[in-house]
Amino acid sequence: MAEHRIRLRGAWDWILVEDEAEVARRVNLPTRWPTGLSSGFRLLRRFGRPPFDPATESVRLELLDVPGLVSVRLNGREIGRDLTGVDNRSIPLTEPILSRNALILGIDLGAVEGLTPGEEWGSIALVIEPTV
């Protein structure tokens, strides 16, 4: 059995803090961030449990083209941090995946050197693959 990729493209909530209040806007990935973002923000994506057999398959989170990524949380648990200098990341999901899940990415584009304005950001996927 080959790997199966589930792309998490649409339905991301882009959560900014404006005037001390959180403001959420919808965004699809990959996206082009507006220039001049100087403070950090979060992306939230909810998803259901993908169909897979934990006895014969594993799931990992694939994060490509994500400069400025500083943290990754799944269902309130931190599964990745200090990722600012890493553009491509793969994180095995070792905890049980629930029927409903919340993935939160912490982003700080101000910490990124050399981010080209208008550059596409973020290719995120769940990858299901056979265990060896």
Find, among 116, 80, 113, the residue nearest to 124 by Cα. 80
Domain ranges of the chain: 4-130
Enter the tokens of residue 44: 């939230």
Q: Indicate the pTM of the whole model.
A: 0.88
50-64, 81-95, 112-126: the lowest-pLDDT one:
81-95
Is 21's pLDDT higher than 90? no
Query: Does pLDDT of 108 surpass 90?
Result: no
Other Cβ atoms less than 10 A from the Cβ of 62: the count is: 18
Which of the following CATH numbers is that of domain 4-130: 3.30.70.360, 2.60.120.260, 3.55.40.20, 3.40.640.10?
A: 2.60.120.260
Which pLDDT does position 113 carry in this prediction? 62
CA distances from 24 to 18, 27, 42, 71, 79 (A): 10, 10, 9, 18, 23
Q: Residue 38 — very low, low, confident or very high, per pLDDT cuts 50/70/90? A: low
